[in-house]
Amino acid sequence: MKAQVLEQFGKPLVLKEINKPEPKDHEVLVKIKASGLNPLDVKIKNGQAAHAEAALPMILSLDMAGVVEEVGKDVHNFKVGDEVFGLVGGVSDLQGTLAEYIAADADLLALKPKNISFYEAAATPLVFITAWEALVDQMNIQQNQTVLIHGGSGGVGHVAIQIAKAKGAKVYTTVAPYQVESIKKYGAESIDYQSLSVEDYVETYTNGVGFDAILDTVGGNVLESSFKAVKRYSGHVASILGWGSQNLAPLSFRNGTYSGVFSLYPLLSGKSRKHFGKILNEAVELFEQEKLKIILHPIAYTLENANEAYTDLENKKNTGKLVIEIH
């Protein structure tokens, strides 16, 4: 099979012919139709993601959608011909999805929603799983709660808005003025963080009470501002970028709680992988109810020009999730 291989951190990928993998008993062999690209993949490529435990040479990219071609003897929930999607590799010594085939742990997969393309399905797993773990697993958001999503125009952010809306929450998001129109269709109230202080928007949108739940997708000062914006006693902050030297005092003074989200753990440890499949089935339900839509970059890249896709993402020349089609 053809695959793009990373041989040195910070260097271009190399298109090679390598052996097609053979599925183990608990795996399925998937012919990949599309590979989703995330900012994390760029960090791994550049050697800037030690937590991903990358082992060179490696095949990058975590997300994919494709068709099952072979099933291991212990796999009973998929059959040959099934269209599937999942967050399946691209970290540690696990093969990534920039290849024509992958032998994937069946627990990490779900059947692709019938009403979306392989292209959109491949753009979904990491961002949906991350948002779901934060909002549902960590914060257990409920109907009519006030939920603030920092960075609502980003990959995780725009998906988080839709999950929170589907749960019946009143959703707010911080965006730059030029991003307001792009997320209006998702039903969140936009907050211009450039012109309003934390105190101002807490007063304006919650009458000074604070938000029930806050998801930080930005980190740094945005995480610290979240600690000042939660509701006293019951407020909860979750962050997908919670590393640094944040001051917890503002959160402590509000008697709030904090959770970190590390979605790579099941891949790295081999534990709790079935939860990925369960979360993706929640995505399937939302897609088929037309309550979930992924913002997609208009350019479709191919396996042959995957380096161009990585360069464009690194240079932020994207207006949605980048996907590499594999023919």
Per-residue pLDDT, 177: 84
- Give, for all 327 residues of the chain, the pLDDT tens digit: 999 999 999 999 999 999 999 999 999 999 999 999 999 999 999 999 999 999 999 999 999 999 999 999 999 999 999 999 999 999 999 999 999 999 999 999 999 999 999 999 999 999 999 999 999 999 999 999 999 999 999 999 999 999 999 999 999 999 888 888 778 889 899 998 888 999 999 999 999 999 999 999 999 999 999 999 999 999 999 999 888 788 899 999 999 999 999 999 999 999 999 999 999 999 999 999 999 999 999 988 999 999 999 999 999 877 899 999 998
Closest by alpha carbon to 303, among 22, 102, 78, 84? Answer: 102
Tell me: domain 2-124+268-325, CATH 3.90.180.10, correct?
yes
Would you kindly state where each structural domain of the chain is located, as residue ranges? 2-124+268-325, 128-260
Backbone angles phi, psi at 192, to 5 degrees: -80, 95
pTM over 0.85: yes
Per-residue pLDDT, 183: 82
Residue whose entry in the numeric block shows the structure tokens 């809306």: 165
Question: Which class in CATH covers the domain with range 128-260?
Answer: alpha beta
Per-residue pLDDT, 317: 76
CA torsion, ordered 276, 282, 285, 288, to nearest 10 deg: -60
Per-residue pLDDT, 178: 83
